[in-house]
Chains A and B, each alone.
Chain A
């Protein structure tokens, strides 16, 4: 029997070794410690002067100090470390000086795991530097232990999620200018998340988690955020893995597997809660997730190649049934579109059925109607955009940017009714309704929902036949490579 030997991720080992020797990291760590000392000293000094005036204020010093320490800690964990990891990754993957670690036998997944673990180690290092100061807050009073534990457990998880987000952005292709813009957008998103984390942490400190920890509401909320974080984090991770895989590889597989797996898992969890609680509203987050998953899948599928490369064909199962099941999970525009349609249609159908089962007769289907309409619009715009690219813009626009055409059509559909309404003065009046049919957002308006649904239904019916033909054609081409014949590159 082979003895078990623990093999450390080479990237993690390298990153940690570099961090240990890096002046930047050690100087940042020392500055952070200094900041914590200054903040603690300042808050304790202010607290001491307050106590002289109001002896009751002493009970709030610990809480104030915790909040004051949490701000720099969250900046480090949610902004500094993820940005550091993302920027390093972007530089290493630069077009001119691609780091040679990307041409070793390391898989994209192991590179990303190593980077993520290294960033998490840094987060833990920074958090542990703050722990003695945070312990002091408990001694000073004004904060309960469950609140402190929950907040401190939340922080590394949020930091890990932020790091996955930053690493995913770093793997996206583009020119240097585009990458800088992307970095700035990413920085803003991280900043917003950091503010949100601080707000919720402050709320928990103020109201105390201890009194709610035994309630189902608390655990449902925690489960919701945990599931959301793991699902989205996993999706981002699989997207980054796909981006780093060779273009000839079946890049879609990890993304679609994770997407479908998390869709099924979250569906089961939310359905269980909905049936236990007899409340169909618990299905809404899952339906919203399904909607965005399906829509994103369609947009991404637009940019995928129509044919199957040799490498992909080698992985196609030989048995017909397996091949049928595998088809939506393989690279290609048609499988991608099919996968997205299956996710979207199945989610809406299951959501409707579950809603009826939970509230027979009293089920309000308006929410489902809107989502079905939005999904139909997504399909119609993406499919029309794709045909437009195929027949008109093929030579001028790279396939990867075909989604821009769908976006332009959508903008046209949204803006045209407003312009027409402005021109003839019907904007805001009832007669203006007929023009809203191209605008998916008009589905939220009860007055014009029917016209919108009817219009998009007709549009989808028109697109259905060519789409089915195109998908069937792709299915016919979805054949395993005959390895007995010599290959012609």
Chain B
């Protein structure tokens, strides 16, 4: 089940919370949705969960607009908001049971679904406790159980780890990983980048309402989806992968900097400490070609190695810390 966010815009008066955001979520992948506070993450997620409506743009679920047909999205999408369940005078079992019924489950499938999510989220021992008596971590689990009870293919989790103690965080991470392994498409927003990088396959970076980057996280071959997003499209099929290599010259880097900028495939060069980091468009053959051309130009090099970017460095490099 593919989810396409197309040119999504949401304004609140004069404030543009989301500005033409475009990206796609593919089946079986876990997407980290990161951005500074007020970047537009929650608004985007709320629209995707049909809790809010865009000012313009659309979200397509397998080609069907969820703005026009929210009922269709509600079958396929599970949403865990950043707020905890507001109901207090109800037990865990009754709460999950209600949402299972609300999603149309009845009789044996209902009992099976409730028991299954209780087991998955570890809520079995707490099923007869009222929500009022639960800790924040436990209520987060209830919230996750609620989002999972109708077995959605796409899960949207907004700040699932916020305010949790370390143990609850580890447990939640394990649950999320298990969901990813089960083939669900997940979109998770979080401020804890190290945790996200452990569980996510892809990252979507948003700032001031605009998508800055949407690319796979692993393998140092980030797609040029950020460029595609800037253009307002989500078609990255023709974009080449982008690799970053660190090059340490013998002596001052000026000559190397000039030479790199003249080479084909080199998209950007920036000094980092006593090295230069070059973004090379292409895969390993293009990287090898750059190295060969530098050697042919008699530039003395001490080191030439690929830079393994983690989520934190990508985030810091891509974002500017601006607010919408």
B102-110, B201-209, B219-227, B239-247: which lies at the interface:
B102-110
Q: A430 in the interface, Cβ–Cβ < 8 Å?
A: no
Q: B120 in the interface, Cβ–Cβ < 8 Å?
A: no
Taking a contact as CB atoms under 8 Å apart, the answer to whether A21 and B89 are in contact is yes
Q: B67 in the interface, Cβ–Cβ < 8 Å?
A: yes
Q: B90 in the interface, Cβ–Cβ < 8 Å?
A: yes
Interface residue from A23, A101, A105 paired with B71 (Cβ < 8 Å): A105
Chain A residue with the shortest CB-CB distance to B83: A97
Taking a contact as CB atoms under 8 Å apart, the answer to whether B58 and A489 are in contact is yes
Nearest-Cβ distance from residue A208 to partner chain B, whole angstroms: 44
Taking a contact as CB atoms under 8 Å apart, the answer to whether A309 and B68 are in contact is yes
Which parts of B43-64 form the interface with A (CB within 8 Å)? 49-51, 53, 57-58, 60, 63
Taking a contact as CB atoms under 8 Å apart, the answer to whether B68 and A311 are in contact is yes
Number of A-B contacts (CB under 8 A): 77
Taking a contact as CB atoms under 8 Å apart, the answer to whether A100 and B75 are in contact is no
Chain A residue with the shortest CB-CB distance to B87: A18
Taking a contact as CB atoms under 8 Å apart, the answer to whether B68 and A248 are in contact is yes
Q: How many residues of A contact B (CB 8 A)?
A: 30
Residues of chain B with a CB closer than 8 A to A101's CB: 98-99, 102
Taking a contact as CB atoms under 8 Å apart, the answer to whether B74 and A105 are in contact is yes
Q: A320 in the interface, Cβ–Cβ < 8 Å?
A: no
Residues of chain B with a CB closer than 8 A to A54's CB: none
Which parts of A233-261 form the interface with B (CB within 8 Å)? 246-248
Taking a contact as CB atoms under 8 Å apart, the answer to whether B130 and A21 are in contact is yes
A247-B49 contact given A99-B86, A105-B102, CB 8 Å threshold: no
Q: A214 in the interface, Cβ–Cβ < 8 Å?
A: no
Chain B residue with the shortest CB-CB distance to A23: B89
In the complex, what distance in Å separates the CA atom of A148 from the CA atom of B219?
Answer: 81
Q: B277 in the interface, Cβ–Cβ < 8 Å?
A: no
Task: Render A101-116 as a binary contact track against B, CB cut-off 8 A, 1 for contact.
Answer: 1111110000000000
Task: Render B163-187 as a binary contact track against A, CB cut-off 8 A, 1 for contact.
Answer: 0000000000000000000000000
Q: How many residues of B contact A (CB 8 A)?
A: 37
Q: B81 in the interface, Cβ–Cβ < 8 Å?
A: yes
Taking a contact as CB atoms under 8 Å apart, the answer to whether A5 and B106 are in contact is yes
A22-B94 contact given A105-B103, A489-B6, CB 8 Å threshold: no
Q: B101 in the interface, Cβ–Cβ < 8 Å?
A: yes
Q: B305 in the interface, Cβ–Cβ < 8 Å?
A: no
Taking a contact as CB atoms under 8 Å apart, the answer to whether B98 and A100 are in contact is no
Q: A98 in the interface, Cβ–Cβ < 8 Å?
A: yes
Q: A448 in the interface, Cβ–Cβ < 8 Å?
A: no
Taking a contact as CB atoms under 8 Å apart, the answer to whether B51 and A103 are in contact is yes
Q: A179 in the interface, Cβ–Cβ < 8 Å?
A: no
In the complex, what distance in Å separates the CA atom of A14 from the CA atom of B146?
Answer: 14
A105-B53 contact given A18-B90, A489-B60, CB 8 Å threshold: no
In the complex, what distance in Å separates the CA atom of A216 from the CA atom of B214?
Answer: 76
Q: Which of A7, A14, A22, A103 has the most CB of B within 10 A?
A: A103
In the complex, what distance in Å separates the CA atom of A93 from the CA atom of B239?
Answer: 44
Nearest-Cβ distance from residue A184 to partner chain B, whole angstroms: 24
In the complex, what distance in Å separates the CA atom of A105 from the CA atom of B83?
Answer: 21
Taking a contact as CB atoms under 8 Å apart, the answer to whether A103 and B103 are in contact is no
Taking a contact as CB atoms under 8 Å apart, the answer to whether B102 and A7 are in contact is no
Taking a contact as CB atoms under 8 Å apart, the answer to whether B89 and A22 are in contact is yes
Taking a contact as CB atoms under 8 Å apart, the answer to whether A13 and B6 are in contact is no
Residues of chain A with a CB closer than 8 A to B83's CB: 97
Taking a contact as CB atoms under 8 Å apart, the answer to whether A104 and B74 are in contact is yes
Q: A10 in the interface, Cβ–Cβ < 8 Å?
A: yes
Q: Which of A11, A13, A22, A104 has the most CB of B within 10 A?
A: A104
Taking a contact as CB atoms under 8 Å apart, the answer to whether A310 and B107 are in contact is no
Interface residue from B60, B63, B67, B70 paired with A103 (Cβ < 8 Å): B70
Q: A487 in the interface, Cβ–Cβ < 8 Å?
A: yes
Taking a contact as CB atoms under 8 Å apart, the answer to whether A17 and B90 are in contact is yes
Residues of chain B with a CB closer than 8 A to A311's CB: 68-69
Q: B65 in the interface, Cβ–Cβ < 8 Å?
A: yes
Residues of chain A with a CB closer than 8 A to B69's CB: 248, 311
Taking a contact as CB atoms under 8 Å apart, the answer to whether A487 and B102 are in contact is no
Chain A residue with the shortest CB-CB distance to B95: A14
In the complex, what distance in Å separates the CA atom of A360 from the CA atom of B268?
Answer: 94
Q: B79 in the interface, Cβ–Cβ < 8 Å?
A: yes
Interface residue from A14, A98, A248 paired with B98 (Cβ < 8 Å): A14
Nearest-Cβ distance from residue B147 to partner chain A, whole angstroms: 8
Nearest-Cβ distance from residue A309 to partner chain B, whole angstroms: 7
In the complex, what distance in Å separates the CA atom of A99 from the CA atom of B104?
Answer: 17
Taking a contact as CB atoms under 8 Å apart, the answer to whether B53 and A487 are in contact is no
In the complex, what distance in Å separates the CA atom of A103 from the CA atom of B77?
Answer: 10
Residues of chain B with a CB closer than 8 A to A310's CB: 65, 68
In the complex, what distance in Å separates the CA atom of A10 from the CA atom of B95?
Answer: 11
Taking a contact as CB atoms under 8 Å apart, the answer to whether A10 and B87 are in contact is no
Taking a contact as CB atoms under 8 Å apart, the answer to whether B49 and A103 are in contact is yes
Residues of chain B with a CB closer than 8 A to A248's CB: 67-69
Chain B residue with the shortest CB-CB distance to A107: B71
Q: Which of A18, A21, A23, A100 has the most CB of B within 10 A?
A: A100
A14-B94 contact given A103-B49, A105-B71, A105-B74, CB 8 Å threshold: yes
Nearest-Cβ distance from residue A87 to partner chain B, whole angstroms: 14
Taking a contact as CB atoms under 8 Å apart, the answer to whether A106 and B102 are in contact is yes
Taking a contact as CB atoms under 8 Å apart, the answer to whether A10 and B51 are in contact is no
Taking a contact as CB atoms under 8 Å apart, the answer to whether A247 and B53 are in contact is yes
Residues of chain B with a CB closer than 8 A to A23's CB: 89
By a beta-carbon cutoff of 8 Å, the part of chain A in contact with chain B is: 5, 7, 10-11, 13-14, 17-18, 21-23, 92, 97-106, 246-248, 309-311, 487, 489
User: Which 3 A/B pairs are nearest by Cβ-Cβ distance?
Assistant: A489-B58, A10-B101, A104-B102
By a beta-carbon cutoff of 8 Å, the part of chain B in contact with chain A is: 6, 49-51, 53, 57-58, 60, 63, 65, 67-71, 74-75, 79, 81, 83, 86-87, 89-91, 94, 98-99, 101-104, 106-107, 130, 146, 150
Known: A17-B94, A23-B89, A489-B60. 11 other contacts (CB 8 A): A14-B90, A17-B90, A21-B91, A21-B130, A98-B51, A101-B98, A104-B102, A104-B103, A246-B70, A311-B68, A489-B57
25 contacts between A and B (CB under 8 A): A7-B106, A10-B98, A10-B101, A13-B98, A14-B90, A18-B89, A21-B89, A21-B90, A23-B89, A92-B86, A97-B83, A100-B51, A100-B79, A101-B99, A103-B49, A103-B50, A104-B99, A105-B102, A105-B103, A246-B71, A248-B68, A309-B68, A487-B65, A489-B6, A489-B65
